[in-house]
Amino acid sequence: MLVAGGCFWCVEADLEKLPGVKRVVSGYAGGETENPTYDTYASGGHREVVEVTYDPTLVSYEQILIYALKHMDPTDDDGSFGDRGDYYSPAFYYETDEERAIIDRLIAEVNESGPYEKPLAIDIETRPTFWPAEEYHQDYYKGPVSRLQYKFYRRASGRDQFIESHWGEDTDATLPWRADASS
């Protein structure tokens, strides 16, 4: 599955922490050009995305969407935090009508019950061709030197502060009002 939530370094780092996720690859999708690179993806109309491989017996498609949504600014259609432009805007991709219905229901539910002051601005699109990013972008947050650059970038971006202001410590793959409704 593909998800876009701003800087792919951050989306990859967060989704790799979700139990049941086997692999997350940073890359590009949605543009008009073939074989985009970091230098050409924006001009080719691509978005920074991650491709998620997961074990559906441990985590569901919807849970991955919830987790991703809680780790981005899903209300900003013009970019993500300090990164501006459609190539950093949030998007959920689907391959089947069932996946599309899951996305539609989730967005409606979060708009109705969620913590945001604005409606969600997540683009919903059919899954396009995925192009893996260059090797140096993969697991960027883990590299010996890039780890420090990543930590600085993430702190300066305001991402963690935004997440905490809307979700507090509740950043798992569940929605708190569902638990409230069932009890």
Q: Catalogue the active-site residues.
A: 7
Q: What is the CA radius of gyration of the chain?
A: 16
Name the token pair of 109.
Answer: 């539910």
**What DSSP designation does 82 have?**
T
- Burial state string for 76-99 with b = 16 or more CB within 10 A and e = fewer than 16: bbebbbebeebbbbbbbbbeeeeb
Name the nearest CA neighbour of 155 among 142, 141, 167: 141
Say which residue the tokens 């432009």 belong to. 85
